[in-house]
Structure 1
Amino acid sequence: MSDWRGTEGARNRYPIVSMGVFWWVESTATNPSFFEVSAETTSLVLVLLDEITSCHPLQHTYIMSLLQRLLEASYPSLEVQMQELKRTFLDHMIHLLSCDHVIPVVSCIHKCMISGTLDHSLIRYFVSEVLSIIGPPYSTEFTSVFLPLLQNDEIVSSLVSQTKDDPVSLFLAECPHKSKKKKKSKNN
């Protein structure tokens, strides 16, 4: 006889357990020397974070906060692997975005762009990945947060093609409200 709840019900039954796992992940990942250890341990922690993201939407805010802290942190002993590590964090933020936590994730990247805490190549990677998983119609709220990333030439210049059939141009063509520069009126 099969369980009437199925496997999906079993995954979502114990949010308190996933919160305990999250707290362990948070205390482990925020340890300054954690990312100096083997990649296998790092990936286990981040896989657990992805599983919590997929199964427990009420914990998205906590996950977002942790990923933001990890993304903005500096890792002086990992200068060579810093870009790769931050790209990994971006991958997990993109996963969080794909699990319906869109506006907070894009807002975080926008803040990182303004403050200069993220390299333009990492923001370009984020924009490219997001454009590959989204499609029209786009909400006004989303475009108002995402559009500033596309207006930075240093980020999107290598993503735009001459033929305008690239993801950036296609997104701009579908925007509910396109960014228009306001002209100052002259009173004569």
Structure 2
Amino acid sequence: GGFPEVATLVRVALKNRIFNKGTLMRLKDFYDPHSEIYTIKDEEGEEEEEEGDRMPADANNEDGPKPDTEKSDTKSLVKRKKNKRLPPIWPLRLPRVLVLLTRQLFQPFKRYTEQIMLNGTYLLACATTRKSVGRSGEEGYDESNPNMNTDLHIALAEEKLVKKLQEALLEALKICNSDETITIAGLHRESPGMKQLMKLIKKHPPISAGALLWIRDVYQDSRFQRGSCFTIGVKTLLYLIRCCGRSHPLQRSQSFLILTQLLAAKPEAVSPTKVLELKKYMIDEMIILMQLGYVLPVIDFMKRSAVAGSIDHSLLRHFVIRILQCAVPPFSQDFIDGINGFLQTPSCTRALRAGQSPVLQRLIQSFRVACIDQQKKREDEKRKMKSRINIKETAKEKESHSNSKKNDDPSSATPKETIRLVPFSTV
């Protein structure tokens, strides 16, 4: 779009895997419609002092102003627009760029300067708010063209939305990067910081995406694992993941990915018993995602984990109990096939045999009975449909056969109408 330096800056940032201070500042200048790139300063002239403003020279003061007129050094600056086009917004919307920028801003235990935070949040707000097209009706306007430059008037009109999102991002980052947050009081669900962060997560998808990355990095950090707030903090972090999945359906896959990474993590500074207990809470969050409609990926993940033997038997039993308690017929065929395939894996079979309980046996038995009944109902419906189709086909055949007989019988043919011609003279 006529801004090759933007592409160079983005390439360098992706190569170095970080947006340094200079890169953020330069990119912000390119995408900010109020920056000096889009304005030029003209010197209008020099103003002369009026006679009333002149001070008389002091006889004893040789440095005083002379009676001759002197020109003032003040210059009036007039700003006028230099360029009416901003660079295309799509370079900032590349998935790699968005992930890199979001991860850099929401990195826990990392302190950046205020200028980096301002420039980074502004670029992230632009990428998620601003339109990427020019003005409709102009010559060369093409809405489907991704290289279309953003019109300056559109960028100025959308500046309020960008600034509003930037303020929300700065507020969320202030909570996430605060030392008071990673404490027992700060990680409590009812703390003011967590309440405000939950509100921001529910309202703004970019903050929700950044919070998911922040949660993963906090959980995997050894300083957090060694702290006394680990148990309380993990429950609050899992609740934040639930808020992300419920508020933004498009981020449920990302929420599930973060849960799988937390489930696979092995905190060395925490006892195995406590880790196993916390992983059951993670399984519960996966069940909640299934209740929200994200079903088959969760079942597929648990099946692959059971086949690979990378998950504890107690977690497999907990997953079976929780999912069979929540599932209500009628079930889809994909769900039945997925659950049956999961239950038939060797690891799951051994886990169920090792921890047999009346509740678990009753749930599995009721699920199988419900599947059998549902299969019978489907077969009955198919038979009824086939019988209805056969009845309709036989009725059509009888009707066509009777019509063919009528056409072959000459007596049944309708007599032709005769037209009597009247002589013209009589008329």
TM-score by length of 2: 0.36
Distance in 2 (CA, whole Å) between partners of 1:70 and 1:11 is 20
1:85 maps to a residue whose letter is L
- 1:8-27 alignment runs, 5 A limit: 13-27=203-217
Asked whether the 8 Å contact 2:215–2:237 carries over to 1, the reply is yes
Match of 1:137, SS state, is: coil
Mapped partners of 2:236, 2:300: distance in 1: 27
Residues in 2 aligned to 1:124 and 1:19: alpha-carbon distance in whole angstroms:
31
In structure 2, the residue matched to 1:167 is: 363
* Deviation of 1:106 (Å): 1.2
Within 2, Cα distance between the matches of 1:129 and 1:145?
A: 15
More strand as a share of residues: 2
1:92 shift after superposition: 1.4
The sequence identity of aligned pairs, in percent, is: 25
**Could you tell me how far apart the structure 1 residues matched to 2:337 and 2:224 are?**
36
Q: How many residues align?
A: 166
Q: In structure 2, what is the Cα distance between the partners aligned to 1:33 and 1:108?
A: 29
The answer (yes or no) to whether the contact 2:245–2:252 under 8 Å persists in 1 is yes
1:159 deviates by 4.6
Equivalent residue number for residue 349 of structure 2: 153
Bigger shift: residues 166-175 or 59-68:
166-175
> Letter of the aligned partner of 2:267 in structure 1?
Y
What do the CA deviations read for 1:143-168 (whole angstroms, capped 9, x no partner)?
A: 2221133234323341567xx7x111
Are the structure 2 counterparts of residues 22 and 140 from structure 1 closer, same or farther at C-alpha, using a change threshold of 3 Å?
Answer: same
- Distance in 1 between the 2:225 and 2:325 partners? 29
Q: Deviations over 1:54-87 (max 9, x none)?
A: 1111001111111111112222332232211211
Are the structure 2 counterparts of residues 67 and 42 from structure 1 closer, same or farther at C-alpha, using a change threshold of 3 Å?
same
1:105-146 deviation per Cα after TM superposition (whole angstroms, max 9, x unaligned): 111111111111111111011110000011111111112221
Q: Is the 8 A contact 1:29 1:35 kept in 2?
A: yes
Report if the CA contact (8 A) 2:201-2:244 is conserved: no
Q: Is 2:294 the counterpart of 1:101?
A: yes
Cα pair distance change 1:75/1:26, threshold 3 Å: closer
Within the candidate set 215, 224, 243, 1:51 is matched to 243
Could you say what secondary structure the match of 1:106 adopts? Answer: helix
C-alpha contact 1:136 1:174 (8 A) present in aligned 2: yes
Which has the higher relative contact order, 1 or 2, with Cα contacts under 8 A spaced 6 or more apart? 1
Matches within 5 A, 1:5-154: 13-37=203-227, 38=229, 39-78=231-270, 79-151=272-344, 152-154=348-350
Deviation at 1:174, TM superposition (A): 2.4
Aligned partner letter, 1:62? Q
Q: Which moved more, 1:110-119 or 1:79-88?
A: 79-88
Amino acid at match of 1:19: A
Decide whether aligned partners of structure 1 residues 11 and 81 sit closer, same or farther in structure 2, where only a CA change above 3 A counts: closer
Moved more, 102-111 or 18-27: 18-27
2: distance between equivalents of 1:70 and 1:106? Answer: 17
For the 8 Å contact 1:50–1:92, the answer to whether it is kept is yes
Structure 2 unaligned residues grouped into runs of 5+: 1-199, 376-427
Taking the aligned partners of 2:273 and 2:203, their CA distance within structure 1 comes to 42
State the 1:29 CA deviation.
2.4
| CA RMSD across the alignment | 2.5
Amino acid at match of 1:29: Y
Q: Which letter maps to 1:17?
A: I
Kept after mapping to 2: 8 A contact 1:112/1:118? yes
Give the ranges of 4+ consecutive aligned residues of structure 1 lying more than 4 Å apart after TM superposition. 10-13
Give the TM-score of the pair, scaled to structure 1. 0.77
